[in-house]
Amino acid sequence: MALAACQKPSAEPELPPEELSITPLEQTVYPVNGKLAISMTISGLEQTKYMTIDKITSVGVQSINYYPRVLSKEYTYNYTMLPTDDAQFRFEFTLVGIDGAKSETAVAIVDNQKDTEGRKYSRLIISNLQMVSRVTGKENNGHDGLPAVKYTVNNGTDTKYNVGGTDLGIVWEISSGYYGLFFGDTFGADFNPNFSAPGPNGGSWRSNVLLYSDDTNLEDGLRISGAAIDQGGRARQIIYSAHVTNGFGDYTSIPTSAVHANNRDYVHYFNIKTWDGWVTNYSGMYRSMDGGGTWDKVNGISWGGESFFGQVGFCNIGDGYVYMVGTQSGRNSKPKLARVKESGIESQSQYEFWNGADWKKGQEKEATTLIDDIAGELSIEYLPEFEKWVILYFNGPRYEITMRYADKITGPWSDPLTVASGLSYPQLYGSFIHPLSKQEGGKLYFIMSMWLPYNTYLMSLDIKGL
């Protein structure tokens, strides 16, 4: 008995790690109501660094990486068909292991010719505008004459990230379920709304900051989950500015739109010489190659101070192009349209400009008016549920945020619809569509700024197709 007691128990045999593999349940898939659901079985998730999904069309290859936190052994990849998708194309799925090993590539062929159940609406109706939640600054729900919101979220950006007063809130999807929000001139935790002189005040001035959100349910408000911070733990300035405020140099750098393309993230900005007339030195782009963590300037892009694309709205619908609706800096010009292949986004000579009938590569002056209306800050998105492009912009003469829609991005565009009036929301501006608006549900979510209290709000709008 003593000898037996000293014997080591037999160890459980170690099982070899699962081999990386993907098995699609169907080799050919068909869209239903404009949507695909590609089901597959994944083996080796514990050893997986990410899964690469390649969409291969006549335009080229678009790639995106999905990480294990959004994957599962029995996984379904959901995809919304685009108006520019080929009659037939394919997806390729490949697992990349933490040791660099790769699985065999699984292929799903998409037959786009058998989707006969799609819907199309001739017009859109909007209603029920709601101020859902405050996004930035110290929470103040309807006190001291400031706006009242439906839900008090209390993101605490003033105490957590030293973001007390700011504007814009340009939102884009960095990766599945993970969003970046660029803000303009930003001030610190000491910011307080100034009723006699609204707008920026306080210390810790940064020309722009970047916050993050992993909130995928906006019905009860938008929650901030992080920020690009400096060594002191405050939200840091991303786009450089010398802060020369005498009207003769580099006053500030303001983001206008951001987009994920070519497996990178980009932000367009304009560099202001003086706010008196919005005199602009130039417009340019910064990029991030690590999911929005670090940023550097794109040297191949510089739009002149009088460019038609001094301020822009980006949109990437996955057809191989990034679309760019632009205006001159300020709020007194009419939008124009450009596009560029994702692979050429860092080369200015590769941009194509819509002249009303065709695309003209490298000829910005050929760009003609897309929408016959005065537009300030704008954003654009494609809503698959309605098969419509939607644009939001600030219109000064009507003192409102305006919406228009179109079947094609080249138009014709609808008559203007009033989204939010300055009579109800004094000193409103900015209207940046949240990408979650692309999901079904008839809701359009966007970020709106108000000069008093110089902060940003999540707004929602009901949309119905007829």
pLDDT in tens, 220-230: 999 999 999 99
Reading the block at residue 434, the tokens are: 């949240």
| Contacts with 460 (C-beta within 8 Å, 6 or more apart), sequence order | 128, 129, 130, 132, 218, 443, 444, 445
- pLDDT < 70 positions in the chain: 1-17, 114-120, 440
Give the per-residue pLDDT at 6. Answer: 42
Give the per-residue pLDDT at 192. Answer: 93
The contacts found for 113-117 with CB under 8 angstroms, 24 or more apart, are 113/87, 113/88, 114/30, 114/31, 115/30, 115/31, 115/32, 115/33, 115/34, 115/81, 117/32, 117/33
Strand ordering across the sheet containing 443-450: 124-134, 455-465, 443-450, 428-433
d(CA 416, CA 371): 10
Amino acid, single-letter form, for residue 136: T
CATH architecture under which domain 124-465 falls: 5 Propeller (2.115)
Strand ordering across the sheet containing 88-97: 28-29, 106-111, 88-97, 48-56, 61-66
Give the per-residue pLDDT at 5. Answer: 42
Stated as kind and residue range, the H or E segment containing 261 is strand 252-261
Helix, strand counts (H, E) of the chain: 2, 30
Give the per-residue pLDDT at 14. Answer: 54
Give the per-residue pLDDT at 405. Answer: 96
Give the per-residue pLDDT at 116. Answer: 42
Give the per-residue pLDDT at 144. Answer: 83
Amino acid, single-letter form, for residue 357: A
CATH superfamily, region 21-111: Immunoglobulins (2.60.40.10)
d(CA 410, CA 354): 8
Q: Cα-atom radius of gyration of the chain, to the nearest Å?
A: 24
Give the per-residue pLDDT at 280. Answer: 98
Q: Which sign, positive or negative, has the C-alpha torsion 199, 202, 208, 214?
A: negative
Q: Where are the domains of the chain?
A: 21-111, 124-465
Identify the DSSP state of 232: T
Reading the block at residue 51, the tokens are: 């899964």
Give the per-residue pLDDT at 16. Answer: 59
Strand ordering across the sheet containing 378-383: 378-383, 388-395, 400-406, 417-421
Give the per-residue pLDDT at 114. Answer: 55
d(CA 389, CA 380): 7
Reading the block at residue 253, the tokens are: 């750098």
If we measure between CA atoms, which residue out of 251, 268, 150, 267 comes closest to residue 205?
251
Give the per-residue pLDDT at 309. Answer: 98
What are 254-301's pLDDT values in tens digits? 999 999 999 999 999 999 999 999 999 999 999 999 999 999 999 999
| Contacts with 33 (C-beta within 8 Å, 6 or more apart), sequence order | 115, 117, 118, 119
Reading the block at residue 361, the tokens are: 């590569």
SS3 content of the chain, % helix, strand, coil (to 5): 5, 45, 50
pTM: 0.79
Give the per-residue pLDDT at 17. Answer: 67
Amino acid, single-letter form, for residue 423: L
